[in-house]
Amino acid sequence: MKQSRMLIPTLRKAPSDAEALSHKMMVRAGYIYQVSAGLWAYLPLAQRVIDKIENLIRQEVNKAGGVETTMPGLLPADPWKKTRRFYTYGDNLFRLKDRRKRDMLLGPTHEETYTQIIRDTVKSYKKLPLLLYQIQDKFRDEDRPRYGLLRTKEFIMYDGYSFTIDRAGLDKEYDAQAKAYRAIFDKMGLNYKVIYADSGTIGGTGSQEFSAPAPIGEDTIVYTDGGYAANLEKATSKFTGKQQVAEEQELTKKATPGAHSVDEAAESLGLDASQIVKSMLYMASKDGEDKPEPVMVLMRGNDEVNETKVANEVDADDLRLASDDEIAKLLNGAHAGSLGPVGVGENVTILADNYVKVLVNMAMGANEDGYHYVNANIDRDFRVDKFGDFRNVQEGEIAPDGMPIKFTNGIEIGHIFKLGTLYSQILGAQVLNDQGRATDVVMGCYGIGVSRLLSAVVEQNADENGLVWPTSIAPFDIHVIPVNVKKDEQMSLATSITEELEKAGYDVLIDDRKERAGVKFADSDLIGIPLRVTVGKKASDGIVELKLRRTGETIEVKKEEIVNTVGILLKQAANDEQSKQSSNE
RNA sequence: CGGGAUUUAGCUCAGCUUGGUAGAGCGCUUCGUUCGGGACGAAGAGGUCGCACGUUCGAAUCGUGUAAUCCCGACCA
């Protein structure tokens, strides 16, 4: 491929509004062009990377029994109304009407559509299992698109859906997808972590999230060197609290003027935050029920409430902090900042973290602005309905695997999920089983953020000169650079080398532009093709220079040896990329 | 949803305080020299200063509104 026929608008400087490394680099290197906030054009180089990633996915998913399909991006709202997601999905769903005023939407995911197809076309368990997938644009009206391709309003996604007659079948499909995902990400040379999650609240019985550590990642990954990995929402640590031993003192109300936070109260009372109990008032509600139930959560002042754990405990679909009005109404006109469990009525469920259980003579808000209680004790002064783990783990604590916990940011690149029969029940996707009885089809759903993968890979593979693509998904394998295109011996050698390498099956880009060497080298580094072939002064002797982008390693070879040497170098580079990854997981 | 910032040439920015209808560097075009790590010289092209309304004889500049873009935060009582 001639570079003069490509559109590669490289820039000396990154646009001033780019923040993330991958965002800046991909714009500078001429891969992507921003059309609008959260909407990106993939220029020729990005398109080639995307094609390679997609083909890698196809390869591995097909191996796992997947078959490719394509759904419309524009969808009728009716099935989404049946599953209620038309109403519950929130503002991220693009809703629109067609000319007959029929409600439509732009698909953010396709559970309904695939379930509908299976419902109408598969009537017998003998036709199962099936794993249907597509690689296609998805639409989500993100509140805040950011970081280049990381969070956008339209993005490319692999989404697969498995249909089986029973749970055992689902487990097989799920495991096959997990295996395929690992193969895909391994081949891409990505560093990633697999996060296992227990059953979610909505009909699922298991999920794994694949997350690539990177500074701009929006997940907090809790992990250990022993292999433990979890979301902050799900992470647990060993309880290390010790029962405090002290004589119970008299409950006393103290003035703490102006103290609204734990730190302010701690200062005012001369106590450590860990001896202060903060009390958070939440409103918990379930789907389809209007009246939320108040839940008070007690926590050491230096801990953070984990709302997922609280929601699970009270079996709530929605959990939110109580509004000022609600607090005032339930707690005698008190305001946030001075809440506490003393004297709280039976209508409020009181949960307390395990670490509160071991405290004696604790301080807490008095439900009266400007006052805190000190020397409060459980049972004697206030009621606790249930103790449990309701806090976020902290770095350095001991994980369930016995190793110290570390935190890192991660980019969610893939997710697999055991859906169960939720959608098939609602949409009526049933087949006859071997007993001749109608049975709900058991589903799993699987997703990979394809366009987001570019960001993840670039975040992990770039240096100050530009991108450094892994060989498996680089837009080209080899960048041939005739240093001076006006010198016939250089140009003709470069051309013949390009043809030879292309014949050998490589993707080759030849820089046939009438640019000076410095410009070509700088652009080449920026673009990040794994191997560069420089055809320069020694062209007349039939000698060229090979240079690896990642290591900078350079060797001179005779033209007769190029194809052979290139093969060795690229294979070695691919091995290095994959071993780098496996040592990391 | 809350807060902050920005918007002038393809990119990075200056000019605005003290109104007089626009500049630099890079990039782009042409010619010449140069030619293995972002060359040099000469001559050019390119902008209704985000948009609207207002103030004024006159607005990139002052006022009001609006839009777009980016960043931060989203309740820890």
Q: What is the interface pTM, i.e. ipTM, of the complex? A: 0.93
In this structure, the strands spanning A466-467 and A207-213 are unpaired
State how beta strands A349-353 and A386-388 pair: parallel
Question: Could you check whether the bond before residue A129 is cis, i.e. omega within 30 degrees of 0?
Answer: yes
CA of A95 to C1' of B50 (A): 28
Paired sense of beta strands A130-139 and A66-68, if any: parallel
**Which nucleotide lies nearest residue A484, CA to C1'?**
B35
Give the closest nucleotide to A38 (alpha carbon vs C1').
B69
CB < 7 Å to strand B — which of 112-131 in chain A?
A: none
H or E element that contains A84: none
Q: Is A84 left (phi over 0), alpha (psi -120 to 50) or beta?
A: left
Q: A530 is written with which tokens?
A: 């794994």
Residue A322, nucleotide of least CA–C1' distance? B75
Cβ of A365 < 7 Å from strand B? yes
- Residue A484 CA distance to nucleotide B35 C1' (Å): 7
Q: Which residue is nearest to nucleotide B35 (CA to C1')?
A: A516
Residues 288-317 on chain A lying near strand B, CB distance under 7 A: 299, 301, 304-305, 307
- The Å distance, CA of A479 to C1' of B13, is 34
List chain B nucleotides near protein: any atom < 7 Å from a Cβ.
Answer: 1, 11-13, 25-27, 34-39, 68-77
For every one of its 585 residues, what pLDDT tens digit does chain A have, with 9 covering 90 and above? 999 999 999 999 888 888 899 999 999 999 999 988 899 999 999 999 999 999 999 999 999 999 999 999 999 999 999 999 998 888 889 999 999 999 999 999 999 999 999 999 999 999 999 999 999 999 999 888 889 999 999 999 999 999 999 999 999 999 999 999 999 999 999 999 998 765 444 444 588 899 999 989 988 889 999 888 888 888 899 999 999 999 999 999 998 887 778 888 888 888 888 889 999 999 888 766 667 889 999 999 889 999 888 988 888 877 888 888 888 888 877 777 788 999 998 999 999 999 999 999 999 999 888 889 999 999 999 999 999 999 999 999 999 999 999 999 999 999 999 999 999 999 999 999 999 999 999 999 999 999 999 999 999 999 999 999 999 999 999 999 999 999 999 999 999 999 999 999 999 999 999 999 999 999 999 999 999 999 999 999 999 999 999 999 999 999 999 999 999 999 999 999 887 655 444
CB proximity A517–strand B (7 Å threshold): yes
Question: Strand A349-353 and strand A293-300: pairing?
Answer: parallel
The nucleotide lying nearest A526 (C-alpha to C1') is B38
Q: Tell me A151's DSSP state.
A: B
Cα distance between residue A221 and residue A191, in whole Å: 13
